[in-house]
Amino acid sequence: MSYLVQGKKGEQRLFMGNEAIARGALEAGISVAAGYPGTPSSEIIENLAKVSKERHLYVEWSVNEKVALEVAAAASFAGLRALCVMKQNGVNVASDFLLHLAGSGTRAGLVLVPCDDPGALSSVNEGESRHFARLVEIPLLEPGNFQEAKEMVRYAFTLSEELRTLVMVRSVTRLSHASGNVTLGELPPTGSKAYFKHDGFILDQMEGAVISSPVEYKHTLQQERVQKAAELFEESPFNTYCGPPDPEVLLITSSACNLYSKEAVRLLQAESRVGILKMGTTWPLPPRFVERHLRMADTILIVEEVLPFLEESVKILAAELAPTIGVKTFYGKRDGTIPATGEMNPDRVVQGLARVLGIDYQPVSESYAQKALESAFFGAPERDLTFCPGCPHRASFWSIHNALQLDHRQGFVCGDIGCYSLAMRPTGYETLKTLHAMGSGTGVASGFGMLREFGLDQPVLAVSGDSTFFHAVMPALANAAHHGANITVVVLDNSGTAMTGFQPHPGLTVDAAGKAVQALDIRRICEAMGVEVRQCDPFDLAATQAALLELISSRQGPNVLILKQLCALSPERKGKRRFNMHIVETICMGENCGCNRLCTRVFKCPGLIWDKVKKVSRIDDVICAGCGVCASICPAGAIQKEAV
């Protein structure tokens, strides 16, 4: 039995933020959970999938975030509480349906948990999901600690049912992935029944058709719900004040910044000068509650991550309240007191707060700072972000890079989101030349592929992972096929959503709960679009390169090359070598080889190391995964493989 459902009410558990969120959903009595994997959100669905049998849940990894929200919404319409989970980029994907759902309203509790990634620790942007709450006019809650992560999710279901609207509970990386003590609540009985009422009066939200029209009427209801949410938030226990009754500075914050702010005040020993107003209900703001606290001080510092979302909301309110609370001086992101990009931490808050308080604060002595700087430069080994040893993507990009070089027409690859995004970097031979959203590689390539009549004669390639193929590449490929875009789409099929932890996708034979399901065949899908499809093993460099050269020479597009090979970390392949590898020292040419050590300087598998003393390359047996690919790249034949 998973520890997520163990323990009695009142007991404490050490939970990761994402586990606390999952537990909150279980305590709320959800029946359905859907999401698309993406760091830092993935563990929520994974943990719910583990308890799906014993808690009678339907849990799925959906094909993309929009579909995930649609699946969860269906449960709500049928009277079942449902949770939908995604990372920040996913909200963009879901936003089309989200806008309509906010208009149609919901029935049983429906909660969307986006996990944002300030600082883009595992993302290609630090987009903000909070703005979507304001854009589509739904309530937004932001937990400030692990206990709140659980409690807020549970409360969000009650709120959703009270207002009959979707409620957003936004987490961030440091909350989702750090751990803290959480006091358990009760798990309700399972066995809810679904029934979709649809033949009542058209304007009856609980019995009529679920639609967002008549638009003006429904939009008015939507805005009334937001006003009611603001009323309810006046008494919310998630909004707290901690500090003196008449602080010199009122620090207003939310989310993980609450923890950083507390730490900063303590470090500056400014407890008697600064009061912290922690907002848990960040949209809509409860006006009377905020007004009471704005009255406490004339200097306000707003601490939050990424965009000045809270800052703007508070300033609008303060402007409206100016006749009664007077003019305030604000500090935050807009004046540069708090950095406008990147993840926050206690040091960054200390710097901003010290400036506002006029404290000359030196976090560490100059000699310590100098020593730390030197250690960082000279003490830590130099490491580039790289593909794992034995990763099929390294072999794929080796072939793609070489094929484009051999072609001589300045061909290029439109990148996509996945482990293979690393091909932007030297470790992937800097092969990717564009990189945007999921599926955009093929979509952008489709655009380039139509520019022949404007003289574009460069080969155009796109890459896509297998999960990404189902997520967003299929419509882009359909577009390319329909319009005859002259492109080659390389599907890097490593049989899993490897980057986020091997969550299943429609190409696989199991679902999130481990049940056997039908696998969809990428090759047949592409063929059904009338596209020429080839398949190669990327570890066979010669055959892959030959196929690529042939496909990019084709004047009729699009075509697809599926490069199928299991991820080196997949459960089926991990720890299983195909070859034992060694380098014959007497043959190795070392620095005289190719571009000055072709294997360690150019191919860059971490399993290959340079012996500085002997001036030859070596295989690091601990790291080498035994894929055998490097034997094909050594021009001297010094790298040898022996079948295991």
Residues of the shown chain interacting with ligand SF4 in the complex, contacts defined by CB under 6 A? 389-390, 581, 583, 588-590, 593-594, 597-599, 605, 607-608, 617, 619, 624-630, 634, 636, 638-639
Nearest residue (CB) to ligand SF4, 489 versus 634: 634
Structure token digits, residue 367: 């000699």
In Å, how far are 29, 52, 55, 75, 83 from 190, measured between CA atoms?
7, 11, 6, 15, 16
**CB of residue 264 to ligand SF4, shortest distance in Å:** 45
Nearest to residue 498, comparing CAs of 574, 557, 559, 590?
Answer: 574
Place of tokens 């300045």: 410
Nearest residue (CB) to ligand SF4, 472 versus 638: 638
Nearest residue (CB) to ligand SF4, 474 versus 619: 619
**CB of residue 395 to ligand SF4, shortest distance in Å:** 8
Non-local CB neighbours of 447 within 8 Å, separated by 6+ positions: 485
Nearest residue (CB) to ligand SF4, 20 versus 624: 624
**CB of residue 595 to ligand SF4, shortest distance in Å:** 9
Distance of CA 487 to the CA centre of its chain: 28
**CB of residue 619 to ligand SF4, shortest distance in Å:** 5
Nearest residue (CB) to ligand SF4, 336 versus 635: 635
Structure token digits, residue 398: 């080796």
Nearest residue (CB) to ligand SF4, 424 versus 624: 624
Cβ-contact 449, 557 below 8 angstroms: yes
CA atoms of 473 and 465, how far apart (whole Å): 9
**CB of residue 572 to ligand SF4, shortest distance in Å:** 16
Non-local CB neighbours of 408 within 8 Å, separated by 6+ positions: none
Nearest residue (CB) to ligand SF4, 335 versus 642: 642
**CB of residue 569 to ligand SF4, shortest distance in Å:** 12
Respond yes or no on whether the N-terminal peptide bond of residue 244 is cis (omega within 30° of 0): no
Nearest residue (CB) to ligand SF4, 354 versus 638: 638
**CB of residue 494 to ligand SF4, shortest distance in Å:** 15
CA atoms of 200 and 202, how far apart (whole Å): 6
**CB of residue 54 to ligand SF4, shortest distance in Å:** 40
Q: How many residues does the chain have?
A: 644
Amino acid at 319: A
Exposure string (b/e) for 377-413, b if CB count within 10 Å is 16 or more?
eeeeeeeeebbbbbbbbbbbbbbbbbbbeeeeeebbb
Q: Which residues pair with 283 in a beta bridge?
A: 140
Beta-carbon neighbour count of residue 548 at 10 Å? Answer: 27
